[in-house]
Amino acid sequence: MDERIARIRDTVDSVVVGQGEARDLLLAAALAGGHALLEGPPGVGKTLLASTLLTTLGLDFRRVQFTPDMLPTDLTGTLVLEGQASFRFRPGPLFADAVLADEINRTPPKTQAALLEAMEERRVTADGERRPLPETFWVVATQNPFEFEGTYPLPEAELDRFLLRAQVGYPETGAEEEMVGRYQSEVQSADRLVGVVAATSRADLLALRRTAAAVRVDPALVRYAVALVRATREDPDISLGASPRAGLALLAAARGLALVDGRDFATPDDVKELLVPVLGHRLRVAPEAQIEGITAQQAIGRIGDRVPYPD
């Protein structure tokens, strides 16, 4: 394993307890350069995990608390009067190495559209002018899927821009006991990042992304990924299958995960492990399957069992 990745994991684990799987998925997304969505109930550490990783990566990041009254200019920036007759563009929080979009599903469609442009094109349109975002621009978003009051479901086009979705669930008993013992007062939660220093730098992240892009992918693995994606379009339990972008995402995430595991090649196991994180938010289960209680995770699991491993 690259020593920089080892330092990142150790630093994150010194703050966040019991979320190793979500940590590695988020790190794989960072190395692949793809946006990530953290999903789970309140109080499991989604924001803490994202903030710790972004701090550890040494990135200049902005945390944005999404609300129903947020406007697109609150993200992109706006012109401000300077002097008597001149205006200056004041950049919004999107002009950072990374953005932590907290409770992303609490802001209305117009603001979501501004974020969608930034996620897809790595630039924003402000006051009629297109403005590029930093080379490292990366969005990590959180949402609570169990609360519907005052929320706006993310459109399929925006969900498709997230490389992967990581589930941050309740920790196991031992991890929860360790966490409660370490942070016995809720007041301490705001201070958990105090003393956390960057384990890498912006330049390190760019170098690691180049390394991840060079991770070897066998042609047979490409065919395997495509077969899995195409199978979602033919499954009777799925009304909306995955697009070709999902196949690209599978392989990009597999490269990132391979590098996290210390390998310079991706394997079918990497791809299969990523099926639910990469495909789960891109699919729509058919209404009749929903009535029978079939979930996207179950449908994807059956597809993973059905499509044969490459030779």
Say what the pLDDT of residue 157 is: 84
User: For residue 265, what are its two tokens?
Assistant: 């090649």
Q: What is the 3-state secondary structure (H, E, C) of 203-229?
A: HHHHHHHHHHHCCECCHHHHHHHHHHH
Q: What digits encode the pLDDT tens for the residues 107-163?
A: 998 999 999 999 999 999 887 889 999 999 999 999 988 777 778 888 888 899 999
Q: How far apart, in whole angstroms, are the C-alpha atoms of residue 102 and residue 142? A: 5
Tokens 């969608």, residue located = 116
Say what the pLDDT of residue 191 is: 64
Say what the pLDDT of residue 304 is: 94
Q: How far apart, in whole angstroms, are the C-alpha atoms of residue 262 and residue 257? A: 9
User: Which amino acid is residue 96, in one-letter code?
Assistant: A
Say what the pLDDT of residue 145 is: 82
Report, as ranges of residue numbers, the positions in the chain whose pLDDT lies below 50: none
Q: What dihedral angle (degrees, nearest 10) is formed by the CA atoms of 252, 250, 39, 141?
A: 30
With beta carbons less than 8 A apart as the criterion, state whether 281 and 38 touch.
no
Say what the pLDDT of residue 211 is: 96
Say what the pLDDT of residue 4 is: 92
* Domains, in order of start, for the chain: 3-209 (3.40.50.300), 215-306 (1.10.8.80)
Say what the pLDDT of residue 187 is: 52
Say what the pLDDT of residue 149 is: 72
Region for 46 from its dihedrals, namely left if φ exceeds 0, alpha if ψ lies in -120 to 50, beta otherwise: alpha
**Selection from 273, 160, 266, 286 nearest residue 222 by Cα:** 266
Say what the pLDDT of residue 194 is: 65
Q: Say which residues have a Cβ less than 8 Å from residue 3's Cβ, sequence separation at least 6.
A: none
Listed in order, strand segments (DSSP E) in 12-157 are: 35-39, 61-65, 77-82, 86-91, 98-102, 123-126, 129-132, 138-143
Q: What is the 3-state secondary structure (H, E, C) of 175-203?
A: HHHHHHHHCCCHHHHHHCCCCCCCCCCHH
With beta carbons less than 8 A apart as the criterion, state whether 93 and 73 touch.
no
Q: How far apart, in whole angstroms, are the C-alpha atoms of residue 212 and residue 33? A: 9
Say what the pLDDT of residue 189 is: 52
User: For residue 138, what are its two tokens?
Assistant: 């990366």
Say what the pLDDT of residue 115 is: 93
User: For residue 154, what are its two tokens?
Assistant: 């993310």
- At 252 the three-state DSSP class reads helix
Total Cβ atoms within 10 A of residue 81: 9
- At 89 the three-state DSSP class reads strand
The answer to whether the predicted template modeling score (pTM) of the entire model surpasses 0.85 is: yes
Q: How far apart, in whole angstroms, are the C-alpha atoms of residue 135 and residue 148? A: 35
Say what the pLDDT of residue 188 is: 52
Q: How far apart, in whole angstroms, are the C-alpha atoms of residue 178 and residue 127? A: 50
Cα 258-303-245 angle, rounded to 5 deg:
60
**Selection from 267, 218, 260, 196 nearest residue 30 by Cα:** 260
